Structure 1
Amino acid sequence: MDLNDITKDLNKKFAAELPEFYNRRIVIWMDQEQEFEDLIDEVSIENVKVLKMTDNNKFFVKKTLCFDDTESDYLLYCPIEFKSNEDNWITDIFKLKGTEDFRADRVSIEIAEMGLDDYRPFRKIVKQYKKFFNAKKRREDIKKLSNKIDSESKFVLAIMSVIANCEMIPATIIREVIKAGLDKNENSIYQEMKKYDIDKAFWELANQGSGYHAEDPSIKDLFVSILLTASLRNIDKSVFDDLDKYINIPQETFCFEFVEDWIRDTHDKELFKQFSKEIAAEINLYDRLKETDLVKFENSEAFEEVDEAILYKLLDNIANNIIDTESLIKIVENRRVMAWHHDFEHYYEGIYYMAKMKEFYNQHQQSFHEIEPQKLWENYANDFYIMDTYYRKFQRALQESLTNHNLRLDDVFKRASERAEGIYKNWFLDNLLNNWCNIAGESLEKYGYIPELNRQVDFYQDNIKYAKTKMFVIISDAMRYEVGVELAEELKKEMQCQVEMNNMEGIFPTITPFGMAALLPKKELSIDIKNDNIKVLADQEYTDSNYREKILKKANDKSVTLKYDDLIQMKRDEKKALVKGMDVVYIYHDRIDEAGHGSGNEVFSACDVAISELKNLVRIIVNDFSGVNIMITADHGFIYTYNPFTEEDKIQKKGFDGAVAVGRRYAVMNDTAEPDYLMPVKIIADNPGLKGFTPRENSRIKKQGGGINFVHGGISLQEMMVPLISYKHLRNASKTYQENKNKYDTKPVELKVLSNSRKISNMIFKMSFYQSEMVSVNRVAANFTLYFVDEYGSKISDEVRIIADRKNVTDDTDRKFDVSFNLKTGNYNSKNPYYLMIIEESNQLPPEKIEFSIDIPFPTGELDFFS
């Protein structure tokens, strides 16, 4: 400001009306930089006396204003900087009525504009970074942070945060600079810092936080230093033996927090991955880890290469038949909450189900020696079926991995799959089906079925004919029993319902024409053979899809057949019109069989799709049709194994003269035929002159064409046992629901603190938690996020995730979780409250807030930027 402008401003001040009860005005012109000392004598304001304070007249000035002349208006020019309150001669003058200050220097004006106190350290910063403060926009940005600026270091942090366009938090500023690029010459934020001469302050900040220091500092080296130092928390130091220059052990806590915060940030996570992969490649991290014992790095998550190394070691062990099921399951469960699990979930899922297959193998070595077919049927329905589920989910994981190529893991996963194939195909199927064929063969040859079992041919008679309410029947082609069990469990969890899981003995041959016919109303089935093509008749009526509604209407004229694929395309009113006034509604669904008869490789993925679609269909029936009673079943099951079949697994067509129809798993022949290596099975449609046959165990009949891996038509338990799910929807007003709400209402399990202490005395500490109940029909798994906050709600620790999905009925200790927390760098007051937050991620449970105290003997964060 020039002298004229200053004089104008001073005139305005003195001309302003005095407040009530004030009789004069004193304006103290503060000019510690003494910029206007030579001009003060030229200042003249009408009716205002001018005093100039010097080192020698302080007493005189104070005496004049406070005692000698208490009536006149005064302009007091003060070019002196007082170093302490005791030395400040104008403190008492400021207490006089009508006293106010005035500043005319650029620094004072800018400090005032930013809403900051005008004292020497701040003035020094404004001068030091005057290029930064030249722009009004930047001063306005600083003003927004003024309530957080209470020291010189915070002021400098504020400048850096404005340049980086981020929060005024040291770690966040460092992160934003690194994010802008590892090459500092191309890094836009760093170049801005250099432009405003604050780059040295940035490197001091980085040094105080991470310990990184270099004569010619590099952003890339800074990131490497933070990354490797953080990794020491969970990777043995020997892995980085030749990289000591990057490691700063005293700053491990800061570095660990820095990395954890970054990889938990969904917006920035991918950039971290990109940078960390670049560093990992430069230091050959994957090769280092492959040479290191797994226990020395299995809990780390700073690099994707850690997951690759863990997975390679586990899969290689499996391929070499080194399968410690307990260890495998524990590692997979621990990795589920790690940062990069999603990128490798199919590999982890494959390992998990391989471990479950091996666990089943270990527990059932002596299981396949039953002497009664009914008992083996029961064992399969209650227990053995789960091996089919494990194998299905292993193979699904394998197939999913093939769509996301990983050079390091693909081959070893395929080698591990051979071990899974050996357990499932060569042990489970061979032993189970050999036992079944041996004990069921006589009944199957004599009757075509096993007496005393629920039979598919009786379905309509037993479940539909005498029903007192509208019945919906869903028939999903080739939905085998174990898939039905999974569907029933999900319906129990997701719907308000009663669900009963049963099974029926399918009709031989277990192919669609026979199975679909068995589910219709009839007195008897028969076979019509035309041009070597089998047609199944119900009471002399053809049972192809276009005839089924006619057959249903003969039993109940208020019947209709629908197709799922057609139904879901319709509007609600169109759908409702189709079932209005009907007593029996058959809905046909074909997802699994359709996929199986393609390449076959998609059949297990199709099982997942089928489960989702069938749940959707149940919702349509309940919501759009107001349906209550639903039966869900299938025409037949299937067998599927992944590896190609050898010639030894194929049965040659010897003695097949007079064959009427031949599939991979069945043959219908004239009664004169005597085929080699096949079991005789009576055809339930008792046609004279025809005999049925099936391969034993897991064999296939040799024939032209594909489709040798996915098969059905035979008498294996996987083919013959079809699911029967009885679903009853419970309306809120129903008596059953009202009396048993706790039984039917599905809720997430809860997580409780098991540790008794509510006092924290270390920056890194462990805690134990307990899953309140095991996962069951109406208690579903829950994901929890846990962290500590201060009394103002600011997060003071890293986040810990717990997946509470334990369902071990016999061992309560299985529901215990031990986790570690890391407090962020800072000073903690033992008298202040701190809180553990337990957040259930689906928000079905209210957040839990548990008070703790923190008493750490030695304060942390004594460095300027972190205090």
Structure 2
Amino acid sequence: MSDRIQAGLARLFEEHRIVFWYDTARDMRAAFEAADPPGVEKVEIANNEFGLKYRILRQEPKQKFLIYKDGPEPEMTDNWLLDVQLATAVFKADQAAIWLAELGLPTQFEDVVRDHMEFYRSKGRIEHLKRLLTPSDTKTDVLRRMLTVCAGAEGALDTVIEALLGELASGRDDALRLMDRAGLTAFFWTQVENAYGYVSDEPDFEDFAITLFQSCYCRALDEDGKLNAEALLVFRRWKNNRHGAEAFEALSRKYQDILQIPEDLQGREIKPLRAIDHFEEIDRQIIRKLVAEMSSQTVSSAEVLKTVRERRQSHWYPIYRDVYEAIGYATEFQQVLAEATLSMTSPAEGVKRYVSSWFKIDQLYRKFIYHMQKSGQASLLGSLFESVENRYTTNFLLTVNDAWQDQVAKLSDWAVPGYPKQTDFYRDQAAEYRRRDQKVVVIISDALRFEVAEECQREIRKLPRYDAELKPMISTLPSYTQLGMAALLPNQDLILSGDSAVSSFGEPTQGTTNRQKILGKGRAGDKAKAMKAEDFMNMKADEGKALFRDHDILYLYHNRIDIIGDKLATEDRVTEAAEDAIEDLTKLVRKLTTANFSNILITADHGFLYQHRLLDETDFSVADPTGSEILFKNRRFVIGSGLNETAGMKKFSSAELGLSGDLDVLIPNSINRMRAKGAGSRFVHGGASLQEVVVPVLKVGKRREADVGKVDVQIIVPGRSLISSGQTAVTLYQAQAVSEKQQQRDLLTGIYASDGTLISDEHQLTFDFTSENARERELPIKFLLSREADQFNDQDVFLKLRQRIGKTSHYEDYANHRFQLRRGITTDFDF
């Protein structure tokens, strides 16, 4: 600024000996004092006009003078130096003129500065404004940019509104007060009225905010709102912008009560609400209605899944993710159970049907319980839980195992034709690798039920270049840890003792040290190792590779499910333990392959029964066991000698179970439990139910080529590729179902002009549909056009699907569709 003043004064003194400087706003004294034009005497008017006139005209007639007055130029009749002034020059250098020059604006913009002086008293604001100005700006443009600066925004009016909404949510009004001090309030409300249709005799920003929420809610329901479609677009952008999420949530929660949204929602159906997420209460209402309709079976599974699918786009979905997941699994559970025929004509058929389809019912039940617990919304899901629990226990668990019991009752020896025995696992499966001179690792995950292993298989197959094959195996009876673990080792003469311990080769099998000794008896010359899985996970990379180098067969013992489920205090957390087990095993597989192990078998000692609700007395076996000697008893089996045939139980001798010794075993029929003090009753094993005795063998290998990709997404446009109104609808179609090797794709979608200008709202979408039904992989989307779209009327515009580049903030085009924008009457916005 001082340089410009110096240059301006120099030009005037080239033509004039005397120059007057009136400081009208009294804010230029510092500039005057700093000015130092060469050869010029600086003097000040201070009731000394006659003395000054005498000096400059008579005493020093050749000296150059800069005459400064701290205040406005006096009226002509009061100006005692008027005759001198008329013969010389006046330096126009008030603060407004200087700021105008600093901004590079012509003199006709003077009122933009002079009428808003407070704005320019901050050097930071001036610098910010300078960066925003363009050569083609009008006065109105400059005022708009001043609003942007006041709000600390990034661009047009919509970003100003977003910034002000952010301040409102945090209880501040700094930007609005600055606008007021800068004389911009009236201009601001004119812009808001022109852009969004907000009209008020006493405009107030919180009133505008409440009206914005109300109007956008009404318009989303195809009802009249006070504000226009442009307001809805701004609202959507703000709501979907992660930077504004906290402010949106705060105001939405506040205004949903003011606007009586809970009351309004009471009479509305789910369908029109599916795509609306302006208020959290909408999600709660949808959930309540879904739960009620599912509990009363008055809604189809397809409708439930469609609603859950669409709610994934809701702003509030992360809060209710587990609730929606629970609802989704519950409806799948109901559908699969309704379609199941729970009968069999032989034990082999029972196992075949369980491993091909029935296991899914156990899995969906477990997933429902897990997400219900994780959601923390037990009361919201209460009636649905009762419905699922009743159906699971009565219509599935009891029904299928009663039918299975009929087959078990006919068996003289414990074996299912056509299915491998657990006692043959080492010889037929683990040692098979050794016979080919290949190294192998066996992971034994305690209580890894078949259905949990099936989910684990899918998770492992999601890993690039990994494959996994799952087959069933029949566990020993009783189906408990000590016997199952011993059966998975090389074994000979398995003997039960009275305390439920098991010996093999005449030696104890409990504990890792004893199991390693037994493992060493398997194949002559093999270097065998048994250890806990967690100890292997704690190894460094070079230690893992050394383990591979120095051993031929490795047994890893993993215990996540049983250690939680087998305790009364924690048995209700077994579904969480199953999720953890899957994650553990997936990590374990990756670390093993990093350590060069390429042949991996994952299996279990036994499965389990689990019912989340506390059991009723009727669930316990009515008869107490009798016999010569009862040595061991738990919920699901009895070990003794000379045991009597007991009503409600199946008796096996050791020989009938393929065991050595002369003890007897009693197994309660179906899913009945025996009473046992201090023991849990919801998570049990040891019996002969399908869930307990059908155990997995998961064979994991690694491929050379990458085999994991993402699903394809296509744009489907009904009718002509023409946009003739303020919004357009398209359908996005996920071409394949998500599977282990076809994974989800995340896309950002919007409509763009040919120069890249975004002219609509944007949608962040996740395509992770698993349904094999193509119609259930369609996602309808509506786009609202912005004011900027008017600039591109009668031109081609593009719907683009864009995907993020790695973990960066950059995106690349994935797919696009060309539209012609031809709107008969474009909007005429002032802003």
Taking structure 1 as the reference length, what is the TM-score of the superposition? 0.81
Q: Which residue of 1 aligns with 2:164?
A: 177
Q: Which residue of 2 aligns with 1:534?
A: 500
Task: Tell me the SS of whatever aligns to 1:447.
Answer: coil
- The aligned runs of 1:60-75 (5 Å cut-off) are none
Deviations, residues 71-99 of structure 1 (Å, cap 9, x unaligned): xxxxxxxxxxxxxxxxxxxxxxxxxxxxx
The question of whether the paired residues in 2 share the 8 Å contact of 1:645 and 1:708 is answered with: yes
Instruction: Confirm or deny that 1:819 pairs with 2:808.
Output: no
Q: Which residue of 2 aligns with 1:19?
A: none
Q: Which residue of 2 aligns with 1:626?
A: 596
Instruction: Confirm or deny that 1:279 pairs with 2:249.
Output: no
Q: Which residue of 2 aligns with 1:781?
A: 744
> What is the aligned counterpart of 1:447 among 410, 413, 423?
413
The alpha-carbon deviation at position 340 of structure 1 amounts to 0.9
Instruction: Confirm or deny that 1:369 pairs with 2:343.
Output: yes
The alpha-carbon deviation at position 834 of structure 1 amounts to 2.8
- Give the AA of the match of 1:209: A
Instruction: Confirm or deny that 1:416 pairs with 2:403.
Output: no
Q: Which residue of 2 aligns with 1:745?
A: 707
Shift in alpha-carbon separation, 1:672–1:358, aligned structure 2, 3 A: closer
Deviations, residues 480-533 of structure 1 (Å, cap 9, x unaligned): 00111111111112141332111100111111001101100123312233xxx1
The alpha-carbon deviation at position 14 of structure 1 amounts to 9.5
Instruction: Confirm or deny that 1:214 pairs with 2:184.
Output: no
Q: Which residue of 1 aligns with 2:553?
A: 584
- Give the AA of the match of 1:110: W
The question of whether the paired residues in 1 share the 8 Å contact of 2:496 and 2:663 is answered with: no
> What is the aligned counterpart of 2:100 among 111, 118, 122?
111
Instruction: Confirm or deny that 1:490 pairs with 2:459.
Output: yes
> What is the aligned counterpart of 1:292 among 247, 259, 268?
268
Q: Which residue of 1 aligns with 2:141?
A: 154
Give the whole-Å Cα distance in 1 for the aligned partners of 2:642 and 2:194. Answer: 91
- Give the AA of the match of 2:357: D
The question of whether the paired residues in 1 share the 8 Å contact of 2:751 and 2:799 is answered with: yes
Give the whole-Å Cα distance in 1 for the aligned partners of 2:139 and 2:240. Answer: 31
The alpha-carbon deviation at position 321 of structure 1 amounts to 3.8
Instruction: Confirm or deny that 1:847 pairs with 2:820.
Output: no
Q: Give 5+ residue unaligned stretches, structure 1.
A: 16-24, 36-44, 47-101, 238-243, 731-736
Instruction: Confirm or deny that 1:862 pairs with 2:828.
Output: yes
Q: Which residue of 2 aligns with 1:606?
A: 577
Give the whole-Å Cα distance in 2 for the aligned partners of 1:614 and 1:860. Answer: 60
Deviations, residues 323-345 of structure 1 (Å, cap 9, x unaligned): 42111111001101211111111
Deviations, residues 801-840 of structure 1 (Å, cap 9, x unaligned): 443333444x433333322111122313245443322123
Q: Which residue of 2 aligns with 1:791?
A: 754
The question of whether the paired residues in 2 share the 8 Å contact of 1:828 and 1:859 is answered with: no
Give the whole-Å Cα distance in 1 for the aligned partners of 2:114 and 2:528. Answer: 90
Q: Which residue of 2 aligns with 1:9?
A: 8
Q: Which residue of 2 aligns with 1:706?
A: 679
Give the whole-Å Cα distance in 1 for the aligned partners of 2:262 and 2:136. Answer: 45
Shift in alpha-carbon separation, 1:774–1:321, aligned structure 2, 3 A: closer
Moved over 6 A (4+): 4-8
Q: Which residue of 2 aligns with 1:571?
A: 540
The alpha-carbon deviation at position 149 of structure 1 amounts to 6.2
Q: Which residue of 1 aligns with 2:438?
A: 469
Shift in alpha-carbon separation, 1:581–1:135, aligned structure 2, 3 A: closer
- The aligned runs of 1:354-433 (5 Å cut-off) are 354-364=330-340, 367-402=341-376, 410-433=378-401
Task: Tell me the SS of whatever aligns to 1:862.
Answer: coil
Task: Tell me the SS of whatever aligns to 1:713.
Answer: coil
Q: Percent same amino acid among aligned pairs?
A: 26
Deviations, residues 287-328 of structure 1 (Å, cap 9, x unaligned): 321232223323211111110111111112233343421111
Give the whole-Å Cα distance in 1 for the aligned partners of 2:321 and 2:510. Answer: 43
Deviations, residues 409-429 of structure 1 (Å, cap 9, x unaligned): x42312210000011111011
Give the whole-Å Cα distance in 2 for the aligned partners of 1:143 and 1:130. Answer: 16
Q: Which residue of 2 aligns with 1:311?
A: 287
The alpha-carbon deviation at position 464 of structure 1 amounts to 2.0
The question of whether the paired residues in 2 share the 8 Å contact of 1:259 and 1:302 is answered with: no
What is the aligned-residue RMSD (CA, Å)?
2.9
Give the whole-Å Cα distance in 2 for the aligned partners of 1:528 and 1:183. Answer: 70
After TM superposition, the structure 1 stretch with the greater mean CA deviation from structure 2, 506-515 or 779-788, is 779-788
Q: Give 5+ residue unaligned stretches, structure 2.
A: 26-36, 39-90
- Give the AA of the match of 1:825: R
The question of whether the paired residues in 2 share the 8 Å contact of 1:236 and 1:296 is answered with: no
Shift in alpha-carbon separation, 1:108–1:790, aligned structure 2, 3 A: farther
Deviations, residues 600-648 of structure 1 (Å, cap 9, x unaligned): 111111111111110110111111x211110011111111111111111
The alpha-carbon deviation at position 262 of structure 1 amounts to 1.5
The question of whether the paired residues in 1 share the 8 Å contact of 2:472 and 2:694 is answered with: yes
Shift in alpha-carbon separation, 1:842–1:459, aligned structure 2, 3 A: farther
Q: Which residue of 2 aligns with 1:75?
A: none
Taking structure 2 as the reference length, what is the TM-score of the superposition? 0.85
Deviations, residues 577-621 of structure 1 (Å, cap 9, x unaligned): 444320000011000111112321111111111111101101111
> What is the aligned counterpart of 1:828 among 788, 791, 802?
791
- Give the AA of the match of 2:609: I
Shift in alpha-carbon separation, 1:436–1:807, aligned structure 2, 3 A: same
Shift in alpha-carbon separation, 1:851–1:828, aligned structure 2, 3 A: farther
The alpha-carbon deviation at position 700 of structure 1 amounts to 0.8
The alpha-carbon deviation at position 379 of structure 1 amounts to 0.9
Task: Tell me the SS of whatever aligns to 2:442.
Answer: strand
Shift in alpha-carbon separation, 1:763–1:182, aligned structure 2, 3 A: same
Task: Tell me the SS of whatever aligns to 1:338.
Answer: coil
Give the whole-Å Cα distance in 2 for the aligned partners of 1:692 and 1:344. Answer: 48
Instruction: Confirm or deny that 1:617 pairs with 2:588.
Output: yes
- Give the AA of the match of 1:548: R
Q: Which residue of 2 aligns with 1:550?
A: 517
Give the whole-Å Cα distance in 1 for the aligned partners of 2:413 and 2:758. Answer: 71
Instruction: Confirm or deny that 1:166 pairs with 2:136.
Output: no
Task: Tell me the SS of whatever aligns to 2:497.
Answer: strand
The question of whether the paired residues in 2 share the 8 Å contact of 1:115 and 1:146 is answered with: no
The alpha-carbon deviation at position 265 of structure 1 amounts to 1.5
Give the whole-Å Cα distance in 2 for the aligned partners of 1:419 and 1:635. Answer: 32
The alpha-carbon deviation at position 208 of structure 1 amounts to 2.2
Q: Which residue of 1 aligns with 2:606?
A: 636
The alpha-carbon deviation at position 11 of structure 1 amounts to 3.7
Shift in alpha-carbon separation, 1:837–1:103, aligned structure 2, 3 A: farther
The question of whether the paired residues in 2 share the 8 Å contact of 1:321 and 1:419 is answered with: no
Give the whole-Å Cα distance in 2 for the aligned partners of 1:646 and 1:770. Answer: 48
Give the whole-Å Cα distance in 1 for the aligned partners of 2:618 and 2:136. Answer: 81
The alpha-carbon deviation at position 705 of structure 1 amounts to 1.2
The alpha-carbon deviation at position 165 of structure 1 amounts to 0.9
- The aligned runs of 1:89-108 (5 Å cut-off) are 104=93, 106-108=95-97
- Give the AA of the match of 1:433: N
Q: Which residue of 2 aligns with 1:20?
A: none
Task: Tell me the SS of whatever aligns to 2:274.
Answer: coil
Shift in alpha-carbon separation, 1:345–1:171, aligned structure 2, 3 A: same
Q: Which residue of 2 aligns with 1:70?
A: none
The question of whether the paired residues in 2 share the 8 Å contact of 1:286 and 1:308 is answered with: no
Shift in alpha-carbon separation, 1:696–1:8, aligned structure 2, 3 A: closer
The question of whether the paired residues in 2 share the 8 Å contact of 1:678 and 1:694 is answered with: yes
The alpha-carbon deviation at position 191 of structure 1 amounts to 1.2
After TM superposition, the structure 1 stretch with the greater mean CA deviation from structure 2, 345-354 or 215-224, is 215-224
Shift in alpha-carbon separation, 1:661–1:163, aligned structure 2, 3 A: same
Q: Which residue of 2 aligns with 1:99?
A: none
The alpha-carbon deviation at position 205 of structure 1 amounts to 2.2
The alpha-carbon deviation at position 721 of structure 1 amounts to 0.8
Give the whole-Å Cα distance in 1 for the aligned partners of 2:588 and 2:474. Answer: 25
> What is the aligned counterpart of 2:216 among 230, 240, 250?
230
Q: Which residue of 2 aligns with 1:87?
A: none
The question of whether the paired residues in 2 share the 8 Å contact of 1:316 and 1:412 is answered with: no
Task: Tell me the SS of whatever aligns to 1:615.
Answer: helix
> What is the aligned counterpart of 2:116 among 95, 113, 129?
129
